[in-house]
Chains A and B, each alone.
Chain A
């Protein structure tokens, strides 16, 4: 078929297909504000600005996903609520929602995609957490401004310091050296693992908590063979791991086993030569696999660990059939407390991850950003977003006693006062008229403003006996004691974190060969651990992996890495 013919046909098809979908979208009237000419005097504010607010109303248009955790009361909705009124009152900013969508089955992502494919005019800012490919596509559409430049110009010191904690958060959004979106920051170390051990089992077998691999194997052997649960049956396992999905995973993690040898599977590691390499094919993995194979044969890990996903593997621990599990500090809230209900007298404690034969400890890290804010290059008052976000960073992220957010975002929403001045919070939801509402979730960046390291660092300081001073600290001090202890261990071992170094959009070969390679990897790793293929098959697996696309992917990933570093 000639090109002449193809195009009209395709256009016709496309328009037929999209016609229905598009009519459903809100019409795109890009509402520019009517503040008149910008105040060009000082070059900072684009509109007259006095005493922390604009003297004329300024508009920010955006779009918003209403997730299931977002609740409203008093007949409010996302267009008109305590947050929008606050923004109007505090800064004279009108937040205008072009459309909102109830976030189910990725509806927000779909709607954004439709907006993009149909060529509608984009809102002033888009905040999006999710598939990196969509953020990439949005950036490639060319409708968004160099956000990094704006950030350098307008962001406050606190905001900048929070962003500087891990400069690699910008990496996914760098195009030709320009930072095209502002990362949305989240709590750091949140999913970094620690090791939980059944304290009563340790006492029963008369051993100390392991600090090295050898000690760990001694403890595991005792947990399996010395009947630690005392029921007279050989029915215990030592270590709960579940690698149905990945070895390196969020709960019931096995990544640290390889960390002891200096590599982390299922992620892109930085090698000594300064190149990125896919962790699972690094030679160190073979040593970790040898251990896991041995442990599987000796019954230290469940025979069905390869069939179990993360929660399923944790069940053995909470049922009192397993003595060790590795996972994030928040596991002390869920699901670990279940073991105390299931087994009377059960005690568990968090411990640092053990060191390998060469004294190495390694754990996977937690990305401090999973989304970003894009700023339209045609946005009229680009400074308005920063006025808003700076304020949240100064006053919300770590509120001092004189902050308007000392107790929460808004009285009557996420806190309230009782008749005698006592403070009602989430747990007193029934005492707050209309119930407890987490109003900070209405904000443009979804969670207000987060300083990544603050939460875990504060918990660690509290664990060291620091007296809570700010309200933020007081709130955290009420956490489960074991959680504070686990958080301290996470911080103590923070130098062992191995971050995944690739955060770009999936590369060309990843898209075309990724699934095949992933399947090959899972199959071989599983079979080696289960002993159905010999350990030395790992070498031929690496060769095959590289030759059937792995090499191209490594090249593409390193090209990306060179472009951002």
Chain B
């Protein structure tokens, strides 16, 4: 059977009909549109109008001169960002840490949700779920202090490692490579429980009839997972993955800021901590705005690209 219906048969036959239907739609939805209006106005005021401030990325911005009087410097700030090796290193650190977090932050909650889904004892399942998402609500200021103690040379982690493997204590927070590892793992540990909620919700939404049919066909748990559960989760994985791509240059300011130190600057300093020091501490608003703009543009491009790819290859529309 030819699935493509000729377009003309689906569209209203005359322009008048089209107009009528549009007017009808408009009447029906006016109340709903009205409800969106406050949110729309707020978004315009607080998200779009301030975007005008982007101009300071191209200025030697002085607060007391304002946008109008500050000198224009063109692309100088961007040139400085990309011409000094120290600054490029910061961009690289951000990319490396953020992409490790992104991948880990997608896989860990997924695996955890799948495992938790297999548990039949609902009291146990619920309490585990609550316990693992609690760390999400802890601030990095507190966790930073806890990690500093836990990971110290005489801390709990090193005591266990030394006792088990008879190795020298590891200087987790003072060695650049270990530092990245700690940052990524602790972030995943903190957030995987919270990330799992969305997967658990979509697991609950899978039609049980599919599993029943599979059982009749003689499929085991493993086969059911591969053939039903995972394919059903792909759309939500794409959504989560796409949205987090926008954060590819957000490596987590509060975490790094609370954990880093002079010994790990070369591997641990990220764009956000850099902007904090240059922009807020040193008051270089123009330069920090330029870095922020660069971050936003990269995030925006990636989201658009991921969205298109999801549509093209997985035939899935997020928005």
Contacts and interface: CB of A to CB of B under 8 A. Distances in A.
Interface of A: 6-7, 10-11, 13-14, 16-18, 113, 116-117, 131, 133, 137, 140-141, 235, 243-244, 303-304, 306-307, 312, 506, 510-512, 514-516, 518-520, 522-523, 525-527, 530
A518 B86 CA distance: 12
Contacts of A235: 154
Given A17-B67, A515-B274, A303 B171 contact: yes
A170 B148 CA distance: 42
B17 interface: no
A13 B262 contact: no
B174 A304 contact: yes
B174 A530 contact: yes
Contacts of B80: 512
A13 B265 CA distance: 38
A10 B282 CA distance: 25
B278 interface: yes
Interface in B17-67: 49-50, 52-53, 55, 62-67
Report, as a range, how many residues of chain B touch the other chain: 35 or more
Given A10-B67, A511-B282, A519 B265 contact: yes
Nearest to B269: A519
Given A113-B64, A304-B152, 15 more contacts: A16-B49, A18-B66, A133-B283, A244-B261, A303-B171, A304-B173, A307-B148, A307-B261, A312-B148, A506-B282, A511-B284, A515-B278, A516-B86, A525-B262, A526-B263
Contact of A141 (B52, B64, B68, B269): B64
A512 B290 CA distance: 14
A515 B282 contact: yes
Contacts of A18: 66
Given A117-B66, A312-B148, A519-B269, A306 B263 contact: yes
B84 interface: yes
B277 interface: yes
A526 B282 contact: no
A290 to B, nearest CB: 18
Interface string B247-268: 0000000000000011101100
A244 B144 CA distance: 14
A506 B277 CA distance: 14
B153 interface: yes
Contacts of A312: 148
Contacts of B133: none
A244 B262 CA distance: 7
Nearest to A137: B64
B66 A523 contact: no
Nearest to A243: B262
A10 B68 contact: yes
A515 B277 contact: yes
A2 B26 CA distance: 45
Closest 8 CB pairs of A and B: A522-B262, A526-B262, A14-B67, A11-B68, A10-B68, A14-B68, A13-B52, A14-B66
Contacts of A11: 67-68
A557 to B, nearest CB: 16
B72 interface: yes
B282 A514 contact: yes
20 contacts: A10-B55, A13-B68, A14-B66, A16-B49, A17-B49, A17-B67, A113-B64, A137-B63, A306-B174, A307-B263, A511-B282, A512-B80, A515-B277, A515-B278, A519-B265, A522-B265, A523-B262, A525-B262, A530-B174, A530-B263
A508 to B, nearest CB: 10
A530 B175 CA distance: 11
Contacts of A17: 49-50, 52-53, 67
B263 A13 contact: no
A522 B273 CA distance: 15
A523 B266 contact: yes
A511 B279 CA distance: 10
B278 A113 contact: no
Nearest to B266: A523
Name, among B53, B64, B173, B269, the residue most crowded by chain A CB atoms within 10 Å (CB to CB): B64
A86 to B, nearest CB: 35
A117 B63 contact: yes
A304 B68 contact: no
A113 B283 CA distance: 13
Interface string B143-175: 000001000111000000000000000010110
A527 B52 contact: no
A131 to B, nearest CB: 8
